[in-house]
Amino acid sequence: MSNLVLMVGVFVFSFVVGYFLISRVPTLLHTPLMSMTNAISAVTILGVLILFSVPSTRFEQMIGSVALIMVTFNLVGGFTITDRMLRMFKKKQEGNNP
């Protein structure tokens, strides 16, 4: 039980620190910040895969599955938005104007 309280405490602390850090980042740096969150999502996927490789309870597997779904959604969405933003900075060719 004390491990669960400790993990919830770390989660709440990291949430508050992350909120204040991200709210103070200038908008110009949001794209590199988004790329960094994609890297963190990849680390989370590795953590879930390690969790699935060891014997665990049904509850732990369920939490891991939820984390895997959420982080996959974040990863795919982050790459999609980053790709869309990078296309905005490409120069348009003059012959392709509709």
Domain boundaries, the chain: 27-88
What mean pLDDT do residues 90-96 have? 69
Which pLDDT value is given to residue 18? 85
3-state secondary structure 21-47: HHHCCCHHHHHHHHHHHHHHHHHHHHH
Q: Evaluate the CA torsion angle 26, 29, 35, 36 in order and state its sign.
A: negative
Average pLDDT in the chain: 84
Which pLDDT value is given to residue 13? 93
What mean pLDDT do residues 44-49 have? 88
Binned at pLDDT 50, 70 and 90, residue 89 comes out as: confident
- Determine how many CB atoms are found less than 10 A away from the CB of residue 41: 20
Show Cβ contacts of residue 81 under 8 Å, excluding neighbours closer than 6 positions: 34
pLDDT higher at 87 or 96: 87
Indicate if the pLDDT at residue 21 is higher than 60.
yes
Show Cβ contacts of residue 88 under 8 Å, excluding neighbours closer than 6 positions: none
pTM: 0.58
> Looking up tokens 């405490």, which residue turns up?
9
**Dist CA 65 CA 44 (whole Å):** 11
